[in-house]
């Protein structure tokens, strides 16, 4: 049963919904219901998931969904589980937008699918659903991955399998979390793209560069060029070291490639006439453990 559930997570939310739909299509409604098939419950009995990766809901999109639900109802059931520590309530696993829109539309009851899921599975499904539908901001996506790593012990490789993305995609997403909170807020608001954020991620004055990028309306290539030529602030760098010498475009590209291959937050190369230092920056103990495992693995 556990293996079947894990395969379902790998295929995404549609597989879970398809299991109940198939039972209903065969005409065995009671069997579908016993397996958590579609049923209707009062809208006020639902509770949002505090670990839901998605934090922002576009007003225009919500209004469109509300109008659709007002006219046609909720066509796709909301995936729920029994609410932890609250008898008679149900926690939303996937479908919070539909629940919010149903409330706006004034619906009294909504269709749901009930599943018995643990906390790790709930978060995995929530991340998978949102990533597959491109519903998360880059910061929400990265924080969802980091939660899977920190709270549930997933490796970057395991996360990449769960969400159906390459390991390099997951590593690049996690690198964004090393940015100052002010830059992450700009990214969340859509003022910066993920490409802009990656361009300034390794710079000790990422906040100042982000402000320039937004003010001047720079594209990603221009942002990368700005980060290469912008000197570090006087004093010490973000890591407590003397300001790093700004390297060539080739050095910056090599740093980015190494960070992606190794799966770390950042890599810094300090070269002085052919001798120097390679600095590896990790964002969590999981990343450090993964690096140690790679370096000590028998060849």
- Catalytic positions are 96
* In contact, 170 and 141? CB cutoff 8 Å: no
Q: How many CB atoms lie within 10 A of CB 202?
A: 23
**What is the distance between the alpha carbons of residues 1 and 18, in angstroms, rounded to a whole number?**
17
Name beta bridge partners: 82: 90
Using alpha carbons, list the distances in angstroms from residue 117 to 18, 146, 205, 254, 258: 17, 20, 43, 43, 38
DSSP output for 47-83 = E--TT-S-----HHHHHHHHHHHHHH---SPEEEEEP
Sheet strand arrangement including 46-47? 39-42, 109-114, 78-82, 90-94, 46-47
Take residue 40 and report the two structure tokens written for it.
């209707």
Take residue 106 and report the two structure tokens written for it.
């004034």
**What is the distance between the alpha carbons of residues 157 and 216, in angstroms, rounded to a whole number?**
38
Beta strands in 97-255 (DSSP E): 109-114
Q: How many CB atoms lie within 10 A of CB 264?
A: 22
Take residue 49 and report the two structure tokens written for it.
């998931």
Cα-Cα-Cα-Cα dihedral sign, residues 175, 178, 180, 184: positive
Pairing of strands 275-281, 266-272: antiparallel
């Amino acid at each position: 049963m556990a293996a079947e559930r894990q395969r379902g997570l790998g295929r995404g939310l549609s597989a879970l919904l398809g299991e109940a739909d198939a039972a209903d299509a065969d005409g065995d409604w009671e069997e579908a219901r016993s397996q958590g098939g579609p049923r209707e419950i009062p809208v006020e009995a639902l509770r949002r998931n505090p670990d839901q990766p998605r934090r922002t809901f576009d007003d225009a999109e919500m209004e469109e969904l509300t109008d659709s639900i007002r006219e046609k109802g909720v066509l796709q059931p909301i995936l729920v589980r029994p609410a932890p520590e609250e008898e008679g309530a149900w926690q939303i696993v996937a479908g919070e937008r539909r629940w919010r829109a149903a409330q706006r539309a004034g619906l009294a009851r909504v269709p749901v699918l009930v599943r018995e899921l643990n906390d790790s599975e709930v978060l995995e499904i929530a991340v998978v659903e949102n990533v597959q539908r491109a519903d998360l901001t880059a910061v929400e996506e990265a924080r969802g991955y980091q939660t899977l790593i920190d709270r549930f012990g997933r490796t970057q490789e395991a996360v990449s399998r769960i969400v159906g993305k390459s390991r390099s995609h997951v590593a690049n997403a996690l690198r964004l979390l090393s940015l100052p909170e002010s830059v992450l807020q700009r990214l969340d608001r859509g003022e910066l793209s993920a490409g802009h954020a990656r361009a300034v991620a390794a710079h000790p004055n990422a906040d100042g560069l982000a402000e320039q990028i937004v003010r001047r309306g720079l594209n990603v290539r221009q942002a990368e060029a700005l980060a290469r030529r912008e000197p570090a602030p006087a004093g010490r760098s973000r890591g407590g070291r003397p300001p790093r010498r700004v390297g060539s475009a080739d050095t910056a590209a090599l740093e980015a490639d190494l960070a992606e291959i190794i799966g770390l937050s950042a890599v810094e190369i300090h070269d002085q006439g052919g001798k120097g230092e390679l600095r590896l920056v990790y964002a969590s103990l999981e990343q450090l453990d993964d690096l140690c495992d790679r370096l000590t693995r028998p060849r």
